[in-house]
Structure 1
Amino acid sequence: MSRRRAVVVTGASGGVGRATARAFAARGDRVALLARGRDGLAAAADEVQRAGGEALVVSVDVADAKAVEDAAQQVVDAFGRIDVWVNNAFAGVFAPFTEITPDEFRRVTEVTYLGYVFGTRAALRHMQPRNRGAIVQVGSALAYRGIPLQSAYCGAKHAIQGFNESLRCELLHEGSRVRTTMVQLPAVNTPQFDWVLSRMAGRARPVAPIYQPELAARAIVHAAGHPRRREYWVGGSTTATMLANAVAPGLLDRYLARTAFDAQRAEGDHHLHGNLWSPADGPHGRDFGAHGRFDDEALSDSRQEWVSRNRGRVGRGLAVGGAVGGALALAARRKRTH
């Protein structure tokens, strides 16, 4: 097994963060679990230990810069260093923009965007003196392409994209061995669609196709080990969305205006309170785990994700195939001329 790393995962109590913590633990890594919800964190720590890792639970609101700095110091005190920091925590509101209050919009921005800024700053404080480390920003296709009913979340993801690019350039300018990379995810089967604050009629749901959180976790762990790549795309829908937005954004505006409202609504009532201001498992004593309610339609694998992780191998294979094909074509032409 490779060297055990000291890893921090924010938003580790559920969803993609929960699956990612397990995936790092399966390598034998030491994993610091950062989130607000105590029941989810306790269950995540148990899973990390059963998977073969070492768990450290730190209850923290990532929107509090000082609390994040203190959490990072707690990790260093326990593990001796931070090798990998994964920014994943987020909040959202499912509603038309005009139905989101200023305080709600600010809160989403503070958690989803500034939480990444504060986490990155805390990680750099400990990585730069050692001149090594990897910071993984968990993004989304929505970092490039906004969709209706998620204006606050999309705005925050766009902000993370720009912030990360600026930071990456600065680190390259310094010749730093600290790396930052971003993993752009598709729709994922997580509990967020039950605990997110929603003002939609019916229950919130992701736009299909939906992928399992373990697929996202696999990509994040790979990115942490190969952070020289500036970005990873996960899922064919992510690739299709980003390419379509680059080629025909106006056409995509009209398509989403027609389809994305109904695509994000399911039958039934939204029973649970939102987790915008307090953790969903707070007074309810419930652990939501990594998966949402879409197991029956969620995909566990993606050819595109494999290609993204193995881009170098694919490129070499295409080059070799092209060279062989060219040599055969040349030999055939020579044979015809003799």
Structure 2
Amino acid sequence: MPEVVVITGGSRGIGRATALRFARRKGIRLALVARDETALAAAADACRARGAEVLTVSADLAAPDGPERAADAVVARFGRIDVWVASASVFSYGSVLDTPDEIVDRVIQTNLTGHMRAARAVLPHFHARGGGTLVFVGSLFSQIPGPYVAPYVAAKHGLLGFTRALRQEMLGHRGIHVRIVLPASIDTPIYERAANVTGRTPFPLPPVVSADRVARAVVRAARGGRAEVAVGAAQLVTRPLRFLAPRVFDRFIWTLQRTLGLRHRPAADTTGAVLAPMHDPGAVSGGWSRVPLRHPRSRRR
């Protein structure tokens, strides 16, 4: 029987890269969930070109009924759900004092509570068919803090804790698996689509790795293996440093963010794509990995 895979945030970035990876499987049925119908359509066409049967669901995970509505739509079309990939995410830059409440709330709702509601929506379907796999996409920021991205850090820390608690609850339910992939800086459009109230131009912290590398980890996690998988070389330095020398780490990450993460090039305040979609075709890459310390678009300004 063909496998049914749901990918939230499937219109761009890691979610889209993951969808393209799954689309290579013979007989796969994909459900791509996101807010932006234009980007959803483009991602679906790319997956269909690889032979997948694709359903698109325009839904906002930040909305209380969004996850349940998405799960119901998938079951209505395909009859079941085998794998749920929780990849939807939004990002913001700003100090704790300067970031508006509406941005903070939406980052938490999309990156944490939306995925919690999604788990609650999909688990009854897993129980009914005797199995299924939930793969959450967390972050290096699930394990370490960072300045000027506090809402994102709080949400991703919460997501890791929620994943671990849910995995413990599922120990009594054979066939239901809960896993999380923890990427570092990844080449996706999320940074240029972030809300920003710093007055500076944001860049991903180096080293930046491809979204497809994370997608490979997500696909492997859906098949089995470790419950928590880290992706990106930055993990090898930051996590040990945070544990062994927390004061040194605090100064290091503050300096890194102020010099490489937020450049002095002026930038106007923006809500980015946090509060509403931008309605564009979407993409896997943000173009960051081609020029690690200088975004290619900046050269044309």
The TM-score normalised by the length of structure 2 is 0.91
Matched position secondary structure for 1:207: coil
Gaps of at least 5 residues in structure 1 are 299-338
Measure, in 2, the Cα distance between the counterparts of 1:269 and 1:191. 19
- Deviating above 3 A after TM superposition, structure 1's stretches of 4 or more consecutive aligned residues are 266-273
- Which residue in 1 is equivalent to 2:207? 209
Structure 2 Cα separation of the partners of residues 205 and 18 of structure 1? 21
Letter of the aligned partner of 2:254 in structure 1?
Answer: A
- The 5 Å alignment of 1:42-121 reads 42-121=41-120
Give the whole-Å Cα distance in 1 for the aligned partners of 2:163 and 2:288: 31
Over 3 Å counting, the alpha-carbon distance change for 1:76 and 1:270 in structure 2 is: farther
Q: Deviations over 1:72-119 (max 9, x none)?
A: 011011111100001111122111111112222111111110111011
Larger helix proportion, structure 1 or 2? Answer: 1
> C-alpha deviations, 1:235-289, integer Å up to 9, x for none?
22123322222222232112112222222124655577511110022xxxx2131
Tell whether 2:233 aligns with 1:239.
no
Cα offsets for 1:185-242 (capped at 9, x unmatched): 010111111111112333211000001111111111111111x521011122123322
SS of 2:135 mapped into structure 1: strand
SS at 1:86 equivalent: strand
Letter in 2 for 1:155: A
Report how many aligned residue pairs link the two structures. 290
Superposition pairs for residues 241-320 of structure 1, below 5 Å? 241-266=238-263, 268=265, 270=267, 274-281=272-279, 286-297=280-291
Tell me if structure 1 keeps the 8 A contact 2:42–2:282.
no
One-letter amino acid of the counterpart of residue 131, structure 1: G
- What is the DSSP-based 3-state SS (H/G/I as helix, E as strand, rest coil) of the residue aligned with 2:23? helix
Find the counterpart in structure 2 of residue 16 from structure 1.
Answer: 14
Letter in 1 for 2:191: F
- Structure 2 unaligned spans of 5+: 293-301
**Quick check: 1:63–1:118 contact (8 Å CA) kept in 2?**
no
The alignment yields a C-alpha RMSD, in angstroms, of: 1.7
Q: Is the partner of 1:192 in helix, strand or coil? A: coil
Cα-to-partner distance string for 1:39-87 (whole Å, 9 max, x where unaligned) = 1000000011012211100000001232321210110111111000011
Partner amino acid, structure 2, of 1:253? D
CA distance in 1, matches of 2:213, 2:254: 29
Separation of aligned partners in 1, 2:31 and 2:101: 33
CA distance in 2, matches of 1:124, 1:31: 18
* CA–CA separation in structure 1 for the residues paired with 2:201 and 2:77: 41
Q: Please, what TM-score do these two structures have when normalized by structure 1?
A: 0.82
1:230 pairs with one of 223, 227, 231:
227
Q: Secondary structure at the match of 1:99?
A: coil
Q: Is this contact kept in 2: 1:233–1:239, CA < 8 A?
A: no
Q: Whole-Å Cα distance in 1 between the matches of residues 234 and 124 of structure 2?
A: 36
Larger relative contact order (C-alpha < 8 A, sep ≥ 6)?
A: 2
Question: Structure 2: which amino acid aligns with 1:185?
Answer: P
Once residues 281 and 272 of structure 2 are traced to their aligned partners in structure 1, the CA distance between those partners, rounded to angstroms, is: 15
Task: Give the 3-state SS of the residue equivalent to 1:148 in structure 2.
Answer: coil
Q: What is residue 295 of structure 2 aligned with on the other side?
A: none
Matched residue SS, 1:32 = strand
Cα distance between partner residues in 2 of 1:192 and 1:259: 19
CA shift in 2, pair 1:292/1:270, >3 Å:
farther
Is the contact between residue 56 and residue 75 of structure 1 (CA under 8 Å) also seen in structure 2? yes
Identity %: 32
* 1:242 aligned partner, one-letter code: R
| Cα distance in 2, alignment partners of residues 109 and 115 from structure 1 | 8
Q: Which residue pairs with 2:150 in the alignment?
A: 151
Question: Structure 1: which amino acid aligns with 2:273?
Answer: N
Distance in 1 separating the partners of 2:229 and 2:291:
24
AA of the residue aligned to 2:119: T
**Given that residues 23 and 221 in structure 1 are in contact (C-alpha distance below 8 angstroms), is that contact kept between their aligned partners in structure 2?**
yes
**SS of equivalent to 1:233:** strand
The 8 Å contact of residues 33 and 58 in structure 1, kept in 2 or not, is answered as yes
| Residues 301-320 of structure 1 deviation map (CA, whole Å, 9 limit, x = unaligned) | xxxxxxxxxxxxxxxxxxxx
Q: Conserved in 2, the CA contact under 8 Å of 1:139 and 1:182?
A: yes
Answer with 16-25 or 58-67: which moved more: 58-67
